[in-house]
Chain A
């Protein structure tokens, strides 16, 4: 079985790129990057505004990639697996929610509390795409290409699993590290593809 990296998307502190090409750079310092990308992509999805920062970044990267990778839309509704990871879990939202319970007049926010689980992001992407497949969230010290390649390869061995999205979505106060790629079995004629291995995954993550 040959596995290919069919597409990849990155969001850094001021821009979003697809397959190494910058698609949008935020010049407007007043507007948040997530909102600017949402507008640039001309999305109409009110649920976006309710998401926390981790989900917003992961969601936008997935929208950019999926809307440009037609093959992903051709599979059964449970054939695409989500394998996401980061090192800071949902920390920014944890701190925001903590403020609602640690103040003098505490009032725990249910809408923030729900997002104090990193896998909520997987739910958001599953809901958007009506995907019922496997969904996994790892918390790791660093982007661990070797581990992710081995785990994804094990999951993709199943005949009914056709593709997976591997993502590293780590959001800190002043630094975003958002990377998402699609891995597909080479059953379709996917053009411009890289072999899915540790070296190539590391290379596009660092690119």
Chain B
């Protein structure tokens, strides 16, 4: 068995996983209105971390990762991060991209990995996974595969992306950014709201390194739509296959899944694609949400922080409502959570899809 625990999230609504979950339960979002912040000085909504230490950090991406790992480490015991059998996996699309083109600054992901290695005095240089919006789920699944291979015993999986003009303007140029706070799966959804956050978990074969009882990781797989580099598949083929394989690989029947943490970016095509995939899988009845209206789209962090919130849901037996959803807006009716729900949560499915036609899923169990 492979275990997952010691989770942390640093976001606009909290510095620990617990604090984040408390704010979600209260319906507090990190998304705010900003004047003249987009391309062409457009007014936009963003989920930005406004903490002064973060804003003044020399390298914001490294700052987030280091602080998040530190909190995870405080939840572990009998565990030496510098050991031969420990690896850090970093999930990110763009790292310190705000440093691009600034003289004498190195924005590269490898430089961040080396900084983090030095900071924690690690035996191995962290390995980076850069698979667009499925990076976080891929990183957790990869941790499982690497531990099973015997190469490492414990893997710290961390993922972050920061809000930057580079990415924000890019999504604006694709007409994918909403001029209102994003509304995943809603009829009136207008696109993405960007966000920044970091999430960290420890994945281990040893149950005893966790101070609080860990959960069980049933790692899944990734797939490709083999269809389009920037548009979701019209048939949901890749997501359909990723979920189907993740269930069968772990011998889990769909009626064992208590909750689905969806991707729900609030673009027209993505949310529609998800509804098609879940319809084909006959999983429309299962309670589902998207957390994008709380955190915005945090890219490389998304799969991690959304998995971590699901872990909190299992620990506390509370499902979080799908903020921003009011009126049905997909061709198949999903069981979107309109309110928080107190219920026994044993087993969750996390899914994601991203540019490059990639899809991924994983399962976490009590």
Residues on A with C-beta less than 8 A from B225 are: 123, 126, 132
How far apart sit A118 and B241, CA to CA, in the bound complex (Å)?
23
CB distance from B154 to the nearest CB of A (A): 16
The verdict on A119 contacting chain B, using a C-beta distance below 8 Å, is yes
The verdict on B199 contacting chain A, using a C-beta distance below 8 Å, is no
Give how many A residues have a beta carbon under 8 Å from the other chain's beta carbons.
50
Bits for A112-144, please: 1 = Cβ < 8 Å to B, else 0.
011011111111101101111111111111000
Residues on A with C-beta less than 8 A from B226 are: 77, 126-127, 129-132
Residues on A with C-beta less than 8 A from B355 are: 114, 117, 119-120, 123
How far apart sit A123 and B131, CA to CA, in the bound complex (Å)?
10
The verdict on A45 contacting chain B, using a C-beta distance below 8 Å, is no
Let me know if B174 and A113 touch, CB within 8 A: yes
Let me know if A141 and B358 touch, CB within 8 A: no
**A119 and B130 in contact, given A101-B169, A126-B357 (Cβ under 8 angstroms):** yes
How far apart sit A138 and B135, CA to CA, in the bound complex (Å)?
10
**A123 and B224 in contact, given A89-B108, A109-B173, A150-B149 (Cβ under 8 angstroms):** yes
Let me know if B237 and A132 touch, CB within 8 A: yes
How far apart sit A121 and B109, CA to CA, in the bound complex (Å)?
18
Let me know if A127 and B230 touch, CB within 8 A: no
The verdict on B166 contacting chain A, using a C-beta distance below 8 Å, is yes
Which of B93, B138, B358 is most buried by chain A, counting CB atoms within 10 A of its CB? B358
Binds A, one of B74-82, B94-102, B324-332: B94-102
- 165-196 of chain B: CB within 8 A of chain A: 165-166, 169-174
Binds A, one of B49-57, B121-129, B253-261, B264-272: B121-129
How far apart sit A34 and B132, CA to CA, in the bound complex (Å)?
25
Let me know if B108 and A136 touch, CB within 8 A: no
Residues on A with C-beta less than 8 A from B230 are: 114
Let me know if B101 and A91 touch, CB within 8 A: no
Let me know if A140 and B127 touch, CB within 8 A: yes
The verdict on B142 contacting chain A, using a C-beta distance below 8 Å, is yes
Select B358's contact among A77, A119, A130, A139, beta carbons within 8 Å. Answer: A119
Residues on B with C-beta less than 8 A from A95 are: 100-101
How far apart sit A91 and B109, CA to CA, in the bound complex (Å)?
10
Residues on A with C-beta less than 8 A from B249 are: 158
- Which chain B residue shows the least CB distance to A128? B226
Select B108's contact among A82, A91, A123, beta carbons within 8 Å. Answer: A91
Let me know if A124 and B237 touch, CB within 8 A: no
How far apart sit A126 and B113, CA to CA, in the bound complex (Å)?
29
CB distance from B102 to the nearest CB of A (A): 11
**A134 and B223 in contact, given A101-B166, A108-B170, A127-B229 (Cβ under 8 angstroms):** yes
Let me know if A135 and B109 touch, CB within 8 A: no
Bits for A80-97, please: 1 = Cβ < 8 Å to B, else 0.
001000011101001101
The verdict on B206 contacting chain A, using a C-beta distance below 8 Å, is no
CB distance from A205 to the nearest CB of B (A): 18
Let me know if A151 and B149 touch, CB within 8 A: yes
Let me know if A138 and B127 touch, CB within 8 A: yes
How far apart sit A140 and B97, CA to CA, in the bound complex (Å)?
17
Let me know if B110 and A132 touch, CB within 8 A: no
Let me know if A131 and B108 touch, CB within 8 A: no
Which of B165, B169, B354 is most buried by chain A, counting CB atoms within 10 A of its CB? B169
**A141 and B146 in contact, given A108-B172, A132-B226 (Cβ under 8 angstroms):** no
Let me know if B146 and A150 touch, CB within 8 A: yes
How far apart sit A131 and B223, CA to CA, in the bound complex (Å)?
9
The verdict on B348 contacting chain A, using a C-beta distance below 8 Å, is no
The verdict on B12 contacting chain A, using a C-beta distance below 8 Å, is no
CB distance from A132 to the nearest CB of B (A): 5
- Which chain A residue shows the least CB distance to B171? A113
**A151 and B93 in contact, given A123-B358, A133-B223 (Cβ under 8 angstroms):** no
How far apart sit A78 and B244, CA to CA, in the bound complex (Å)?
13
How far apart sit A88 and B106, CA to CA, in the bound complex (Å)?
12
Which of A114, A123, A153 is most buried by chain B, counting CB atoms within 10 A of its CB? A123
Let me know if A88 and B358 touch, CB within 8 A: no
Interface, chain A (partner B; CB < 8 A)? 77-78, 82, 87-89, 91, 94-95, 97-98, 101-102, 106, 108-110, 113-114, 116-124, 126-127, 129-141, 147, 150-151, 153-155, 158
Interface, chain B (partner A; CB < 8 A)? 39, 93-94, 97, 100-101, 108-110, 113-114, 125, 127-132, 138, 142, 145-146, 148-149, 151, 165-166, 169-174, 221-230, 237-238, 241, 249, 354-358
The 3 closest A-B pairs by CB, nearest first: A113-B170, A123-B356, A126-B224
